Chain A
């Protein structure tokens, strides 16, 4: 009798690693960028140095945007701000894994 040995060529080896996009490191960085800044916007007295990254990012976006699309109110920039913060978070998380 011969024993059948399990195959080592199962396809799950090549399944995508979603933690690169949604893992805890991503959300920690995302929160670090957005939460202190959002708190500072609700009450400027709470605009601590922790809010500086979010402040710099939002300011840079609106400065550029005020030249490209001056008709838009600055509140609309919260949407691309969150998207940019997420992209930055993914990049930072990926770097920290390597």
Chain B
């Protein structure tokens, strides 16, 4: 079992102090059973943000988890912060909890360069420094699976234009079937009377839109998922819990099982 190698984790909160205490980033609590390295994307720039490599010490696949690509989707970066504290049976996880740090601090969807998740065209260079840094990190680790954690106002195919309560898989290997498996699990958790909140599988991500998971599927042939919750009639703690349960299910499908699975209520 590897000993903890936590590098300046505590500094995260001070560096990410948002105006609103409820939405401000929080310092993750890594497990001492894991080796956790904290690194920085775009160091020395206003968009500098932390990422964490969690290593189980046992050979295995690598997973890649993004939160805070849209800064007002709190469930995504809260779940990612908690995932930094997970213990894995094998393999490693790379977690970027606050991908768009400025947007997270402002609690806005967009950062200074607009919508970060529209800067990743397939078969082309990402369009901003931050998008390029995230993409280079993803290529460097060459993960077995990519998760991008989001939230929407309404529910997919229920409310007009909104995409909540959906898992969108890449069109790679077993990703669509893995999405269905995770959906079957999470729908067993959702209260029975919340009919409209049952998760559905979204269309396959094939590079048609300039989003990071689209690009991962199209350019790298990497299984990936956009996980979309909704804040419609769902409290934040539940959004975070459901996001983590879905992440746990999807990561496990790629050999990244947790030692202590999330306890659902």
Binding site for B on A (CB under 8 A): 40-45, 47-49, 51-52, 55, 58-59, 62-63, 66-67, 70, 73-74
User: Do residues B193 and A48 form an inter-chain contact, with CB atoms below 8 A?
Assistant: yes
User: Do residues A47 and B191 form an inter-chain contact, with CB atoms below 8 A?
Assistant: yes
Given contacts A43-B235, A70-B160, 8 further A-B contacts (CB under 8 A): A43-B237, A44-B194, A44-B238, A45-B191, A47-B233, A48-B191, A59-B158, A66-B154
Q: What residues of chain A lie closer than 8 Å to B237, measured between beta carbons? A: 43
User: Do residues B193 and A44 form an inter-chain contact, with CB atoms below 8 A?
Assistant: no
Main secondary structure, interface of B, reads loop
Q: Which of these, B153, B235, B238, B265, contacts A74 with CB under 8 Å?
A: B153
Q: Which of these, B153, B158, B233, B265, contacts A63 with CB under 8 Å?
A: B158
Q: What residues of chain B lie closer than 8 Å to A51, measured between beta carbons? A: 193
Chain B residues bordering chain A, tally (CB within 8 A): 19
User: Do residues B193 and A62 form an inter-chain contact, with CB atoms below 8 A?
Assistant: no
Q: What residues of chain A lie closer than 8 Å to B161, measured between beta carbons? A: 66, 70
| B208 adjacent to chain A (CB < 8 Å) | no
| B141 adjacent to chain A (CB < 8 Å) | no
Q: What residues of chain A lie closer than 8 Å to B191, measured between beta carbons? A: 40, 44-45, 47-48
Q: Which of these, B158, B162, B194, B265, contacts A47 with CB under 8 Å?
A: B194
- Taking the closest CB of chain A, its distance from the CB of B233, in whole angstroms, is 5
Main secondary structure, interface of A, reads helix
Q: What residues of chain B lie closer than 8 Å to A74, measured between beta carbons? A: 153-154, 232
| B196 adjacent to chain A (CB < 8 Å) | yes
Q: Mark B172-216, 1 if CB is under 8 A from A, else 0.
A: 000000000000000000011110100000000000000000000
Q: What residues of chain B lie closer than 8 Å to A55, measured between beta carbons? A: 193-194, 233
Q: Which of these, B196, B235, B238, B265, contacts A59 with CB under 8 Å?
A: B196
User: Do residues A44 and B234 form an inter-chain contact, with CB atoms below 8 A?
Assistant: yes
| B40 adjacent to chain A (CB < 8 Å) | no
